């Protein structure tokens, strides 16, 4: 296993990999907390059913009020944005929904791609340390006594392999977390797209219901 002596004697090669690992860990924690806690709605089906019923019945003020219970969830923000434009022509509602979908998708995918970059960088840094360790070991062997060559070569190869191990130890969790978070992001985006279609259908079925009073109250607040 990797020793403290290796870390201390090869700080120039080790430090960038450790920094990449710290950055990756911070991104993983922040993204997991955001995607699985902050952006999660406990019962989205029940919420959308209530919103749809309120919208069809023309009770848009009640629907907007219901959205206030989870203001930071992208799905709720998308629904609220559609409700506040429900009194406008359909093309304006569709345009607003497209803008919100783009904004919400960017927020959901934010910083996740950095994990793949950090994984690649960590692997390459580990390979760089491996090559540097091998070069140093061969240079030492070339100028060493016959009795010391075996020990120097073994130490050099050990250092090179430890560099590879450290790089992979950072890269592998990064790639696993990247795939995990991408799947979660894709699920949330698909959920947003389905919600947008459901809201458009509900607004069409509501007829000429007006939310001008609701819009005024929202602007005032």
> Which pair of tokens denotes residue 180?
């995990």
Q: What is the structure's pLDDT at 207?
A: 66
Q: Which ranges of the chain have pLDDT less than 50?
A: 208-221
Q: What is the structure's pLDDT at 3?
A: 61
Q: Which alpha helices (H) appear in 34-89, and where do they start and end?
A: 44-56, 60-67, 74-84
Q: How far apart are the first and last CA of the chain?
A: 60
pTM of the model: 0.80
Nearest CA to 164 out of 128, 115, 117, 139 is that of 128
Q: How many domains does the chain have?
A: 1
Q: What is the structure's pLDDT at 137?
A: 76
Q: Is the dihedral of CA 49, 96, 221, 214 positive or negative?
A: negative
What's the Rg (C-alpha) of the chain? 28
> Which pair of tokens denotes residue 57?
């019945």
Domain span at residue 137 reads: 4-220
Cβ–Cβ < 8 Å for 1, 106: no
């Amino acid at each position: 296993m990797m020793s403290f002596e290796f870390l201390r004697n090869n700080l120039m090669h080790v430090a960038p990999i450790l920094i990449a690992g710290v950055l990756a860990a911070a991104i993983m924690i922040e993204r997991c907390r955001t995607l699985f806690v902050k952006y999660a709605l406990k019962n989205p089906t029940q919420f959308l059913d209530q919103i749809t019923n309120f919208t069809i019945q023309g009770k848009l003020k009640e629907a907007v009020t219901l959205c206030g219970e989870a203001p930071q969830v992208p799905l709720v923000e998308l629904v609220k944005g559609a409700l506040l434009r429900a009194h406008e022509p359909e093309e304006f509602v569709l345009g607003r929904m497209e803008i919100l979908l783009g904004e919400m998708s960017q927020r959901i995918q934010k910083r996740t791609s950095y994990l793949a970059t950090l994984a690649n960088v960590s692997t390459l840094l580990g390979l760089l340390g491996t090559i540097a360790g091998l070069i140093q070991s061969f240079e030492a062997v070339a100028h060493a006594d016959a009795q010391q060559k075996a020990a120097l070569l073994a130490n050099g190869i050990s250092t090179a392999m430890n560099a590879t191990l450290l790089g992979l130890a950072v890269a592998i969790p990064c790639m696993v977390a990247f795939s995990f978070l991408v799947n979660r992001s894709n699920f949330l985006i698909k959920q947003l797209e389905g919600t947008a279609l459901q809201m458009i259908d509900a607004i069409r079925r509501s007829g000429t219901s007006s939310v001008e009073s609701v819009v005024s109250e929202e602007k005032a607040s």
